[in-house]
Chain A
């Protein structure tokens, strides 16, 4: 059975890294958005979401991530997904999320890509 949803977060190099485990349903999606909002209010504009330990997600949970993309778009920020299960990656691709967010194999790669984006920003 898929494990219950869990979330951890840390700030590395001024980037918020959110790591989830277990099923990302509406409750999980809302928790991710709440964690993001908490850091966004403090000025964080670069975010990595590591879904590597969430092999099951649903579109209701993922729809909360559109809110994150929206706020980052408005503020010149950037979201990068990492460690995606191929099926989850396909789902996010169908939803069009990669038109607005990046994807990288690992959190380390995502942080490197965001560091580059930060330099490009100014």
Chain B
């Protein structure tokens, strides 16, 4: 197994900044010789994680801390925002039947991250939210 490579960044709240994170992800994968199709789901997870975190990042520190650690076997993703936090257990899984014919068609991010990852942990309090995700790349 190739040694792990780590990338850390702080992303400000500006449009499409999640693409910078994806560029970093792609570069790590290329460095490790990981085929592009193996990181497709990781791209979606990272996109949702960054978009979600920035949306809830609050007024005082509208930024997101992001860390990837990638090996040829897996990817660890750590995302932290500095918003007011929420109670993760109170968030119901979205249902398309319930979304049809209602105004709010959003709210898929958390469920997508959970469903597409191999391990998902969330910790949230009034100082912000930390999400740790593992995604196998085999």
Contacts and interface: CB of A to CB of B under 8 A. Distances in A.
Contacts of A58: 18, 47-48, 51
Interface in B53-112: 94-97, 99-101, 105-106, 108-109, 111-112
Interface secondary structure of A, over-half rule = helix
Interface residues of B, number: 28
A87 B43 CA distance: 8
A112 interface: no
A60 B106 contact: yes
A81 interface: no
A69 B51 contact: no
A56 to B, nearest CB: 6
Interface stretch (A7-15, A39-47, A88-96, A102-110): A88-96
Contacts, number: 76
A59 B48 contact: yes
A100 B43 CA distance: 25
Contacts of B101: 70
A84 B104 CA distance: 25
Q: Which of B19, B22, B105, B109 gathers most chain A CB within 10 Å? A: B105
Contact of A55 (B23, B40, B97, B116): B40
A63 B51 contact: no
A2 B105 CA distance: 25
Nearest to A98: B96
Q: Which of A57, A67, A91, A100 gathers most chain B CB within 10 Å? A: A91
A86 B48 CA distance: 17
B44 A91 contact: yes
Interface of A: 1-2, 23, 25, 55-60, 62-64, 66-67, 69-70, 73, 85-88, 90-91, 94-97, 99-100
